[in-house]
Amino acid sequence: MTGSDMIHLAAAMVILALTHIFCLSAMTERKYSIRKTALIYGVFAVLFIGLTLAVFALFGSGSANTAFVSFTSTALMAFFMFILTSADAFCKKLFLFISHSILFCIFFCIAILVCNALFPELSETGTLYARNLVRTLLYLLAVVGYLKFLRPYVRMVPGTKKRTWYSISLVSMLFLVVFIAFVIFLYAGYGHEHETIFLFAAVVLLYASVLWVIFGTIRYMNDESKMELIGKNAEYLQGQLALAKENELTAKTIRHDFRHHNQNIAALLQKGDIKEALRYIEQYDESLDAAKPKEFCPHATVNAILSSFSIRAQKENISVSISADTPEESPIADMDFVAILSNLLENALNGCKECGSQGEIRVDLHSVADKVVIVCGNPCRPGLTIENGMLRKRGTGIDSVVLAVRKYSGDIRYELEDGYLTVCVILNA
């Protein structure tokens, strides 16, 4: 290749590298800061352009080796990009990487077929630019489709569903092998017959059908996860109801015994034992205070959750500081308060018990304008990692909180400082 050809090739590769970066950034959840992520993407772009130029200079533009080596090097770099920049679990990263590789192959083949059919007389440089233009447009359409249709399901399905993600990845890997073969044949100038084109179209349609099944599976997984969370929340509500009934029974017992207490006090006064009567009244008042449920805020559900949490913490000898101003009526549904508060407080208790700390759990609920802000902090064990404002390892409880937060277009952020974990939840009421 001449120097002029290399310049044109480099320009085309710059466009294609930016397209790859755009696609990669849209498919993954950012792990690092924008600055660090941009630095990693920049290194990827430089390596991609450099390797592509080296491959073309070594094998030429029309060799099957060029297609194979170019794809392999791009795939390896993309894989490491997913590993380095994505905050998702590895099983999710694998699925997204394979999906990106399949799109790369499909769009590569379509670009070749379209340009050969519409622009057969173009020069080598013109063909290069035309193919990259077609691929770039296809990538843009794919990213829009992914963001609109697939991404919500991918984000909602937890990374703990490893077996399912690996199964989907395995199926996608089989299609990837087939599409790599198409890339090599078409790029090398083989298989431009109608039969090959029809076969390629059939495989693409088959893969689209498999994607439809995958979407259905993901939707089912999401619905199953929701039902699991609803079941846990309902179980917690039943516990709160049982506690309320227990408190009501205690109140009825106290009212029932009130007459007997009055009779005892009256008998002591008739005997003239005023000192003993006063002591009896004092003891009776203490028993009433002990039976009285704590009042943290006017909201019945929130107060029940906080009261139950306070009792549990007291039994565990864990110090708790609670501040709440939630009004009696709130636009936040009771079930969502249960999903958020119960899980955050449960995690706070477990965090204290795991680290054996005698520190204090601090809970703050307040309303600011049209927002409800929930802040919960607790001592925690060493080794926790915060990535992009979220715990790296999180269970179903946190997924339940995230699901409820998204319902109100809210936000959840974790902060870790000097062994103290703080989570802030903002709900748009």
Q: How far apart are CA 59 and CA 65, in angstroms?
A: 7
For residue 328, give both structure tokens.
């009696």
pLDDT (tens digit, 9 = 90+) per residue, 84-135? 888 777 888 888 888 888 888 888 888 888 887 777 777 666 777 777 788 8
100 touches 23 (CB < 8 A): yes
222 touches 157 (CB < 8 A): yes
Q: How far apart are CA 400 and CA 99, in angstroms?
A: 27
- What's the mean pLDDT in 227-251? 62
- CA distance readout (Å), 350 to 81, 302, 346, 355, 372: 35, 20, 6, 9, 25
pTM: 0.55
pLDDT (tens digit, 9 = 90+) per residue, 10-24? 777 777 778 877 787
- What's the mean pLDDT in 293-310? 83
- pLDDT over threshold 90, residue 385: no
151 touches 29 (CB < 8 A): no
How many other β-carbons are positioned within 10 Å of the β-carbon of residue 280? Answer: 16
pLDDT (tens digit, 9 = 90+) per residue, 331-347? 888 878 888 888 899 88
- What's the mean pLDDT in 400-416? 85
Query: Which part of the chain has CATH 3.30.565.10?
Result: 295-429
For residue 383, give both structure tokens.
């080794």
Residue 120 DSSP code? T
Residue 307 pLDDT: 84
- What's the mean pLDDT in 194-211? 86
For residue 94, give both structure tokens.
């694998």
CATH 3.30.565.10 fits 295-429, yes or no: yes
- Tell which residue, 23, 140, 32, 29, has the closest CA to residue 74: 23
Q: What angle do CA 322, 319, 359 make, to 5 degrees?
A: 110
Residue 327 pLDDT: 87
Q: Is 294 exposed, middle or buried (0-12, 13-18, 19+ CB in 10 A)?
A: exposed
pLDDT band at 6 (very low <50, low <70, confident <90, very high): low
